[in-house]
Structures are given as C-alpha cells and as structure tokens.
Amino acid sequence: MAPRATSRGPATKKRKIQMGKAPAEILFDTAAREDYLTGFHKRKLQRIKQAQELAVQAAKEEKKVHRREIREERRKELADHVLAVKTAIESANGVLDNPSQLDSDNDSSTSDNDEWTGISDPKPTFKDAEYIDEDAYATVTVESVEITKDGFEAHNSDSSESEEEDPMADAAAAVTSTAAAAAAESGKLSGEGKKRVWTKDKPLGLRRPSKKKREKKFRYESKTERRVNRDKQRAKNKTQAAARKAKAGE
C-alpha cells in the first residue's frame, strides 16, 4: 500500500526558551501598596493642580502674543505718523520755495475773511410785565443795560424812547394804583375782599381735617339678651303674618 501524501510543510525546529533563574523569594512593599490603594484622591488633586498650572502658563503665553501684536500695531502707526509729518514738512518747504503760490493762498484767505461781517451786537430788550395780585397791581419794566466804568447804564438807543414813554407810563401806573386802592377799600368796607392772615397754626391753602364720626363700640350680647331679642323678633314676625292673613281674607 502506497503512503498517503500530506499537505504539511517542512518541520520547524523548536526553540528552546531560556528561563532565567527564578528568585528565591518574592517580597512585597506594604507601604507602597498602601500608598497606591489610598492615594487616588491625592493623585487626582495633583492632576488638577498640574492642569491649572498649564492653563496659567498658556494664558501668560497668550498675553505675551497679544502684547507683541499691540507693539507691532503701535510701531506701524508711529511709522505712518512719521511719514505723514515728513510729507507735510516737505510740502511746506515746497510752498516756501514757491512764494507765488503762498501769495495766491493769502489772497484767497483774505477774500474769504472780507465776506465775514463779524459778530453783531444783540438787540436791546425793553419789555413791560404786569403782575396782578388780589388787592394791588404792579408793573415791572425789563430793560437792557450796558456795563461801564461807572456801573450799569441804560442802553443809548432806547434812552430817548424811554424818556418819551415815561409820562405815559407814570399816568398809567397812577390810574392803576388808584383803581387798585379803590377796589381794596371797597372790599374792606363790604368785608368780601378781606384776605386771610397766614399763621403757623393755620397756614393758607390747607384745609382743616374734617371731624370723623365716632364709631359705635361693638359689644357682645349675653345669652339672656339674645333670647329676649329672639322672642321679640318672633312675636313681631307673628304679628306681621297675622296682619297679612287678615288683609288677604278681606
């Protein structure tokens, strides 16, 4: 009988594992084991502290970068400002070198200034105001004045007008005061125009508080009083019912 062919590959050599020398005794560090088993919270706090330190360091780095950017922007703005000043100086030097252009600029500025007339003086005021009281009339005149070395003086432009109007104003004031005095005297005689005198105890414009009605004091009835009142009410109700029946029978 012929031998059966197999699909196995070539035979491999077995490697010999060289084992080291086994320790004679295994020792455990009880302190390290206890520290590991009981130090979870402590290690957690250490990790939190380390993360906070890293965050502070990152914030410092970010602040440094921000300051560096600000310095760069300021340096750029300063360079632009220096360039603008230099350009202005060069243009000014060019104008000074060319006096014809400067004369033309001066002529244009003077022509513009000729058109401006300046600040005009305010128009003086002359105004009469009348104040009416219950018993008298008063007229107040408001007039503009000028400040001089001697003090306050009336405005010159209206002096002649005020002098012309003074007699009329005096006459009107005299008539008004006479009418007011007559009205006050008639009011005093009749007793209607008498004014109330202001005092601290009785100031004007304040009304006296009205007297409140005294509330009836509530009192609980005794048991006997309640029984008597009930009997009276029942007798009254019976009398009224009998009267209604008699009236209905008629």
Tens of pLDDT along the chain (250 residues)? Answer: 455 655 566 656 666 666 667 777 888 888 888 888 899 999 999 999 999 999 999 999 999 999 999 999 999 999 999 999 999 998 888 766 665 655 565 565 555 555 666 666 666 565 666 655 656 656 667 676 676 766 667 665 444 444 444 555 565 566 566 656 665 665 554 444 455 666 666 655 556 666 677 787 888 889 999 999 999 999 999 999 999 999 888 7
- Long-range (24+ apart) CB contacts under 8 A made by 180-188 are 180/135, 180/136, 180/137, 183/135, 184/135, 184/136, 187/135
Phi-psi category of residue 205: left, alpha or beta, with phi > 0 → left and psi -120 to 50 → alpha: left
The pLDDT, as a whole number, for residue 148 is 72
The Cα 38–Cα 30 span in angstroms is 12
The Cα 234–Cα 239 span in angstroms is 9
pTM for the complete prediction? 0.27
The secondary element (H helix, E strand) that includes residue 246 is: helix 223-249
The pLDDT, as a whole number, for residue 60 is 95
The pLDDT, as a whole number, for residue 159 is 46
193 neighbors 184 (Cβ within 8 angstroms): yes
The pLDDT, as a whole number, for residue 130 is 62
DSSP 90: H
102 neighbors 95 (Cβ within 8 angstroms): yes
The pLDDT, as a whole number, for residue 238 is 94
Q: State the DSSP string of 38-71.
A: H-HHHHHHHHHHHHHHHHHHHHHHHHHHHHHHHH
CA dihedral 69, 74, 78, 81 (to 10 degrees): 110
Q: What is the largest CA-CA distance in the chain?
A: 171
Per-residue tokens: 172: 């009107």
153 neighbors 146 (Cβ within 8 angstroms): yes
Query: Measured in whole angstroms, how far is the alpha carbon of residue 151 from the centre of its chain?
Result: 45
| Residue 67 identity (one-letter amino acid) | R
Location of structure tokens 């004031």: 173
What separation in angstroms does the CA of 148 have from each of 152, 155, 183?
A: 6, 11, 44
Residues 6+ apart with CB under 8 A from 144: 124, 125, 126, 154, 155, 158
